[in-house]
Amino acid sequence: MAFVAAMESAIVNAVEKAEKSVVAIARVRVSRPGEVFNLEPRPDLFGQLFAPVPRLQPGDADFVATDYAAGVIVDSDGLVLTLTQVLADDSEYYVTLSDHRVFRASVKAADPRSDLAVLAIPAHDLTPIALGDAGTLRKGQIVIALGNPYAIARDGQVCASWGIVSNLGRKAPAFPSDQEPTGKPTLHHFGTLIQTDARLSFSTNGGALINLRGEMVGMLTALPAVAGFETAAGYAYPVDETFRRVLNHLKRGEEVDYGFLGVQPEGLTLKERASGNNGARVARVIPGAPAERAGLRPNDVITSVNGEKIYDEDGLVLLVGRLAADASVNLEVLREGRRFNVQAKLTKYPVRGKKIVTAPRPKWRGIAVDYVSALTIAPESFWQFPRTLDAVGVVEVDQDSPGWKAGLRPGALISHVNGVPIKTPREFFNAVKSLQGPVRLSLVPDGSDDFQPVRTVEP
């Protein structure tokens, strides 16, 4: 009996510590011009017909939003973390705190690769949730889910359920489409998910999975029901090093970048697996990509990344994709029975999907640049990067700016600044930041008849 009481006390204390940091989120679709809402009269408690009162406000007892979800406070000055899948076009967002206050929220940043988004509300002195470490989780560990199931917590009083960690490193189901041929748009499709038997019902998206210390170790997500994903299971994105890196960028309103090696991996044969081999075979290498520069070839088998073993092609994509662009990786390679290590410096993964950035990277004389690898986001051209990766790509030019007047336009590739070669946005800005007068930018030929190899940008 004492054990049961101690367990009950631990769960109650954990919920009390975390629940004031979990919020309810209402998404309200904004009507478009010309749309008419159905305001059909309905009977009241005494059988009399009356028309429902239009324009109920969020927080009213009878207000019904388009969709409901949850989120967690990650900054005392009104930043709320939730999932990108909660967002939609033509929508407004309202956040209800545990003290019943309701605020209209704006989207500060959203990242489709991690499926995380940050909302901002005009509130202060809030209690951010304590972040734990999902890397310490083990199967069988007790966890608690705090969310907004079936929207019954829309008053800000979140609901709790508990269970154990059923498994780790699970994969979200893939759904190929014309926009995403692989059907795996997020890192979570490659094996990040925490699986729990804690009951997670509809609209728990964005809630917190906490440990018995009241620390968030995962963010709840609702997955579509498909074969192999039993209805009793719940899933959460792990709070790990990648999660924290993404969160820090989103809190500042910045874009999140991800590493890209430039190989198309495939799994090993059954015979190789049965022999105890591990790794992912290189089926294809993108010309000019970091993999080719590091000396990788087709049919090489990559067995580990930074000392961490990989067992299939998804594992390779996940371990590389968790890193930031410009990160250096150590790859263990097996080639024709010989093992050796190579170093590769990653470029930027071309993330598809809608990104929301309110604090874009700085421009220089009206010019915004990015990695060349990030310019190729069309599925049909994924393996055909434009011309060269030894440059930076122009992604935006302010009209009537010095860059615009020099003739620079989006899509141009800049290879040199005053004769100095540059390959990354950081190298570009380091090269130009101290220059005061006219600056000569060398461009990569684009095949046009009127191509000019050098553009001079005035101050």
Kindly tell me the burial class for residue 266, based on how many C-beta atoms sit within 10 Å of its own C-beta (0-12, 13-18, 19 or more).
Answer: middle
Q: What is the largest CA-CA distance in the chain?
A: 85
* Residue 39 covered by a domain: no
For 36, 214, 281, the CA distances from 245, given in Å and listed in that order, are 44, 21, 29
Report yes or no on 21 lying in a domain: yes
**Domain-embedded: residue 290:** yes
- pLDDT at position 260, please? 94
142 domain-assigned: yes
pLDDT the model gives residue 71: 96
Specify the pTM: 0.89
What pLDDT does residue 182 have?
Answer: 77
Q: How far is CA 310 from CA 136, 276, 333, 359, 367, in A?
A: 20, 12, 11, 36, 40
- Coil, strand, or helix at residue 116? strand
Same domain (yes/no): 224, 263: no
- Dist. CA 393–CA 373, nearest whole Å: 9
Looking at residue 225, what is its pLDDT?
Answer: 46
Give strand pairing partners of 343.
330
CATH at residue 399: 2.30.42.10
Last residue of a domain, one of 348, 378, 406: 348
d(CA 147, CA 204): 5
User: 381 and 280 share a domain?
Assistant: no
Q: Is residue 45 part of a domain?
A: no
* 127 shares its domain with 228: yes
Counting the structural domains of the chain, the total is 3
In the prediction, which pLDDT does 450 show? 80
Tokens representing residue 327 in the block: 């990160």
The answer on 199 and 87 residing in a single domain is: yes
What is the C-alpha R_g of the chain? 25
**What does each of the 459 residues of the chain score in pLDDT, given as a tens digit?**
788 888 889 999 999 999 999 999 999 988 766 655 544 555 655 666 555 555 666 766 666 777 889 999 999 999 999 999 999 998 999 999 999 999 999 999 999 999 999 999 999 999 999 999 999 999 999 999 998 877 777 788 889 999 999 999 999 888 877 777 778 899 999 999 999 988 777 668 899 999 999 999 999 997 654 444 455 578 999 999 999 999 999 999 999 999 999 999 999 999 989 988 999 999 999 888 899 999 999 999 999 999 999 999 999 999 999 999 999 999 999 999 899 999 999 999 989 889 999 999 899 999 999 999 888 655 444 555 656 788 999 999 999 999 999 999 998 999 999 999 999 999 999 999 888 999 999 999 887 878 889 999 999
* Containing structural domain, residue 426: 361-457
Would you say residue 43 lies in a domain? no
pLDDT value of residue 1:
78
Domain membership of residue 355 (yes or no) is no
Of 327, 348, 369, which one is at a domain's C-terminal end? 348
Between the alpha carbon of residue 258 and those of residues 203, 324, 348, 349, the distances in Å are: 29, 5, 6, 5
Which residue is it, tokens 């014309």?
178
The domain boundary residue, chosen from 226, 254, 282: 254
**3-state DSSP call for residue 430?**
helix
196 and 152 part of one domain: yes
- For residues 217 and 306, membership in a common domain is answered with no
Q: Are residues 329 and 242 in the same domain?
A: no
Name residues whose C-beta falls within 8 Å of residue 24's C-beta, 6 or more positions apart in sequence: 68, 69, 70, 95, 96, 148, 151, 153, 154, 155, 156, 158
Question: Are residues 410 and 341 located together in one domain of the fold?
Answer: no
Cα distance between residue 314 and residue 157, in whole Å:
39
> Are residue 301 and residue 246 in the same domain, yes or no?
no
Question: Do 229 and 327 belong together in one domain?
Answer: no
Domain for residue 140, yes or no? yes
- CA distance linking residue 36 with residue 334, whole number of Å: 64
